[in-house]
Amino acid sequence: MTRLIRPLRSGQITIPVEFRKKLGINEESLLQLTLMDGELRLRPVHLTESKESSDWLKQLYERFTPVREEAKDISEEEIDLAIEQAVKAVREEHA
């Protein structure tokens, strides 16, 4: 199957309906996009729930709720700078 499509001004593209149907893609699908050999390759990714609970991940996420709340008004650049400074300080301490 091949189709020519045109991206919108924002770069957004629409996957034709017949392609979506063939791949089982719907509004809840996750897609993996890969740039390889000058081509974009897209494939649906199907997640399955593990029978083992990931409660530890949920607990970890909840434990950092105060930190996320405190950092909500801090830019990503500011966070990156703070991390760099902290790493530098620890390295200097252990040198």
What does the pLDDT look like over 36-59, one tens digit per residue? 999 999 999 987 766 666 788 888
User: Which pLDDT value is given to residue 33?
Assistant: 94
- The pLDDT score that the predictor gives to residue 3 is 92
Strands 30-36 and 39-45 turn out to be: antiparallel
Residue with tokens 């593209």: 13
- Mean per-residue pLDDT over the chain, rounded: 90
Phi, psi of 40 (to 5 degrees): -95, 130
Rounded to whole angstroms, what are the CA distances from 86 to 28, 80, 83, 90? 39, 10, 5, 6
Fold of 1-47: Pemi-like Protein 1; Chain: D (2.10.260)
Say what the pLDDT of residue 51 is: 62
pTM higher than 0.85, yes or no? Answer: no
Report domain extents, the chain: 1-47, 55-93
Intervals of the chain under pLDDT 70: 49-53
Residue 67 token pair: 């930190």
Query: So what's the pLDDT on residue 61?
Result: 87
